[in-house]
Chains A and B, each alone.
Chain A
Amino acid sequence: MDNTPYAIEMLNITKRFPGIIANDNVTLRLRRGEIHALLGENGAGKSTLMSVLFGLYQPEEGVIKKDGKEVQIRDPNDANDLGIGMVHQHFKLVECFTVLDNIILGVEPTDKAGFLKKDEARKKVLELSERYGLKVDPDAVVEDISVGMQQRTEILKMLYRDNEILIFDEPTAVLTPQEIEELLKIMKNLAAEGKSILFISHKLNEIMSVADRCSILRKGKYIGTVDIAKTDKAELSRMMVGRDVEFVVHKEPSKPGDTVLEVSGMTVASKVHRNNAVKNVSFRVRAGEIVCVAGIDGNGQSELVYGISGLEPLVSGSLKLCGQDITRAPIRRRSLAGMSHIPEDRHKHGLVLDYTLEDNIVLQRYFEPEFTKMGFLRRKNIRAYAERLIEQYDVRSGQGPATVARSMSGGNQQKAIIAREIDKDPQLLIAVQPTRGLDVGAIEYIHSQIVAQRDAGKAVLLVSLELDEVMNVSDRILVMYEGEIVGEFDPKKTTVEELGLYMAGAKRMEVGR
């Protein structure tokens, strides 16, 4: 392997933006037929480097070589001609077209009169999907198929164009554990067939399991390239973050107190199908414990939280918060009664993106006398409060409290939400996938905050799709499958494998109250 020639070399690339150096003398060499991981925290310069490779930015310094020859990549068309293809994190598919139409879009085979020759295209697509094990239905409409199949469509798009260099930009962020497994297998297949793969990620487990080598960026600088066979997670994360990272969350055994949240026979309707999304669910969360709801995405976890937080009405059942009935209470009253909610989708629910950071920080409290007097906002108090939270929770942004939330990085947006919800001093903290899309450093911080809340005697309900998180953070695990709770576990006495069986619906136990 060591003698395999390089397919793409990016040598000493430097790209500056006003005020920052996004890539500072970065070198990345991709061998033919290898899977090369590109690792770095949010804002480390991964996207900029890929944009340079795609011709979206011109570097101030450095050269790009393809097969040893220097090339100029002025725009994405040049990149395409060189056989470079990319699966973006957010897919670029026409929703109302079929899989086949999406694949041939832009390179449609036609006869002399200009009519489409789809049969030929279909043959090629089926051949490719067979060869690489990419299961797709070429006639299915994209909006009807699963995220996993959409991603396979994107991969087929690259293969159909005979791309040799395939870039995967955080491809696993949107997939279920099973789909991730399958994707990693596909990537290995592709590499075995001679394709060169660049795998952008900050999930160390995945890098360890598929990549041959890994290049690490930190704050725009090139840190180094390592052979995966000769390294481990600890070294990779040290190179990425610049210090040692704790993978195990340190916490004392929990000392549960009184019941804070009591859910009895809760049923919540689904927005997407006729069946109820949550079916007759009962459980309780006590003060001083972290209860984690585990399960594969789409098994009713979102609706469970919508029901508890008041975003959706209950079909039946009842809710009690600190002994007070809140079954039909409006959202504001639940919030005042001591419920905090870190929502699943920070852009949809968590933030008003066009508001400033300070206005977002008071989103749950703007009406309190401290921030409103006779109907007028007390700007000075809002500013002071925001400054305190920004300082205390280390929320980083360009212009402090006056920064528009939209312009902040995902990790800092999430920190702002967490600061807001925790500082409300709730009795119950609901956190839904609080670490989704965040890098190792931020995840570590958020986990420590959640544990600190528990230790302060708060009840925490955590919903997570990441089994590592479920095992590390929780004191008690509830597994949800098709809207029901099918198992209750002590994380110390169970294994990921056992949880997986319950999550997939292969086993279930009767969970009483």
Chain B
Amino acid sequence: MKKSERSVFRRLIENDGVQTLLASLLCILGGLLIGYIVLLIIEPSAAWGSITAVVKNFLRYPASLQGKYLGQTVVRTVPLLLCALSVLFAYKVGMFNIGAAGQYVIGACATLYCAIALKLPWIVCLLAGAAAGALLGAVSGVLKTLCNVNVVISGIMLNWISLYFTNNLLSRNGIKRPTGPETIQLINANPKALLPTLGIDRLFGEKSAGIAIPLALVIAVLVWVVLNKTKFGYELRATGNNPNAAKYAGMKENRNIVLTMVIAGALAGLGASLFFLTGLVDWETSISSVPDMGFNGIAVAFLGGLSPLGSILSAFFIQHITSGGGGVDLRFYSSQISSLISSLIIFLCAFVGFFKLAIQNRIRRNDEKKAAAQANGSGKGGEGK
């Protein structure tokens, strides 16, 4: 009886997914703990209240408003998830798509230009965003295959190029508000461009919540299916794991690399479309740094164990604490402190692999000890095996 219980536990702990989940939870706890210590050092009296506010996020509001703030968190989760999918898709093929940030920016640019300047309907804007991201990804992919330029280098360059291009284009008359740095609100400029809500807005009590949410989930599942169940995914992962073996097996590695970057770029670009077409926020043409959505996508992908499905959970969590960061007590802490705490957790997320290894080592050491103890217990005389 006891033995079978043990084996269920063993099977659970030896499962790769369970190990990833455990490691991720450890990272989160570590990040929160260090964040709490920082708060304690700055101002002990308000530290507990602030750290709980970060963890609670929407739950710190009265019940009637919780749905609305939950809705906003979910709406912001969508682009984060898409950027994470972009990063992990390229990662499986052996490339580090730090350019997801730029692909996201150029996606926003194309989407908003189509929506505000050209007054096109939402579906066209959506596809334009994906296409723009794909194009930028293709540039990185082609540079990699033709000139052997590392996608990290080309990605970082293209991030800045896309940012300034976007700021320039969206600052034009008729796109930017005359009174401020933001683009004109979609509801005024072109209501057809707003994503359909399918009643999801009423569910949350938040008007920006809509079709983007189920769409993002479907895309995550699709990415998982493509990577794990199809011939295309088999080729891509082989190319990522061992390009020489892929070539030896007659796969077209160059085509696969470009195609991967196109898909990764399209995912990031689509993330921007699915965010800006909700009307929750507008593009700020005065920003001078690349939005961190793409970079956070890297953290989300790793926290999610580089699995599309794990990324759904980790994207929501990261967005949850980022939004929750707004709840720290601003009488004692500067407003940047919320970013600091979420950054700490995101930073710790890079250690998922490390914690996973630690868990595996622990299991192994336990096994060795047990084997030794068993051998000693069963007598040293007859080892017939």
Contacts and interface: CB of A to CB of B under 8 A. Distances in A.
Contact of A377 (B234, B242, B245, B246): B234
Interface string A1-37: 0000000000000001111010011000000000000
A33 to B, nearest CB: 35
A350 B229 contact: no
Contact of A350 (B235, B245, B368, B385): B245
A353 B237 CA distance: 11
B16 to A, nearest CB: 11
B372 interface: yes
Interface in A327-342: 330-335, 341
B254 to A, nearest CB: 12
B238 A363 contact: yes
Contacts of B150: none
A25 B234 CA distance: 46
Q: Tell me the interface secondary structure of chain B in the complex.
A: helix
A341 B230 CA distance: 25
A123 interface: no
A376 B376 CA distance: 52
B377 to A, nearest CB: 12
A366 B245 CA distance: 14
Contacts of A332: 250-251
A418 to B, nearest CB: 15
A58 to B, nearest CB: 10
A349 interface: yes
A71 interface: no
Interface in A285-328: 309, 311
Q: Tell me the interface secondary structure of chain A in the complex.
A: mixed
B248 A355 contact: no
A21 B247 CA distance: 40
Most buried by B among A18, A24, A348: A18
B229 A377 contact: yes
Contact of B248 (A16, A60, A343, A366): A343
A16 B250 contact: no
Most buried by A among B230, B232, B249, B385: B249
B368 A18 contact: yes
Contacts of A21: 383, 385
B230 A366 contact: no
Given A377-B230, A377-B234, A363 B249 contact: yes
Interface in A394-435: none
A276 interface: no
A363 B231 contact: no
A353 B231 contact: no
A16 B371 contact: yes
Contacts of A354: 241-242
B375 interface: yes
A375 B383 CA distance: 53
Contacts of A341: 248
A60 B368 CA distance: 11
B367 interface: yes
Contact of B231 (A61, A348, A372): A372
Nearest to B246: A352
Interface residues of B, number: 29
A309 B368 CA distance: 46
Interface string B283-319: 0000000000000000000000000000000000000
B250 A335 contact: yes
Interface string A369-383: 000100111000000
Nearest to A359: B234
Interface string B350-371: 0000000000000010011011
Most buried by B among A330, A343, A348, A352: A352
A17 B385 CA distance: 14
B6 interface: no
A156 B371 CA distance: 40
A375 B371 contact: no
Interface in B217-258: 229-232, 234-235, 237-238, 241-242, 244-251
B383 to A, nearest CB: 7
A366 B368 CA distance: 39
A351 B231 contact: no
B380 interface: yes
Nearest to B375: A16
Given A349-B248, A364-B249, A60 B231 contact: no
Most buried by A among B232, B242, B245, B246: B245
A375 B230 contact: yes
Contacts of B245: 348-352, 363
A445 interface: no
Given A60-B375, A363-B238, A17 B368 contact: yes
A348 B385 CA distance: 37
A359 B235 CA distance: 11
A473 to B, nearest CB: 24
Contacts of B234: 359, 366, 377
B230 A376 contact: yes
A91 interface: no
A247 interface: no
Contacts of B367: 18
Nearest to A336: B250
A60 B229 contact: no
B376 A331 contact: no
B250 A353 contact: no
Contacts of B229: 376-377
Contacts of A363: 238, 245, 249
Given A21-B383, A61-B380, A377-B229, A352 B238 contact: yes
Nearest to A61: B380
Nearest to B238: A352
A335 B370 CA distance: 50
A439 to B, nearest CB: 22
A191 B200 CA distance: 83
A500 to B, nearest CB: 32
A16 B369 CA distance: 10
Nearest to A354: B241
A350 B238 contact: no
A25 to B, nearest CB: 8
A48 to B, nearest CB: 13
Interface in A230-246: none
A332 B248 CA distance: 9
Contacts of A311: 247-248
B245 to A, nearest CB: 5
Contacts of B364: 18
Contacts of B251: 332
Contacts of A353: 241-242
Contacts of B247: 311, 331, 349
B371 A355 contact: no
A16 B383 CA distance: 12
Given A335-B250, A349-B244, A350-B245, A60 B383 contact: no
A368 to B, nearest CB: 10
8 contacts: A18-B364, A60-B376, A349-B244, A349-B248, A363-B245, A363-B249, A376-B229, A376-B231
Interface of A: 16-19, 21, 24-25, 60-61, 309, 311, 330-335, 341, 343, 348-355, 359, 363-364, 366-367, 372, 375-377
List 6 tightest A-B contacts by C-beta distance, closest first: A332-B250, A331-B250, A18-B367, A349-B248, A372-B231, A352-B242
Given A16-B372, A60-B372, A366-B234, 6 more contacts: A18-B368, A21-B385, A311-B248, A348-B244, A352-B242, A377-B230
Interface of B: 229-232, 234-235, 237-238, 241-242, 244-251, 364, 367-368, 370-372, 375-376, 380, 383, 385
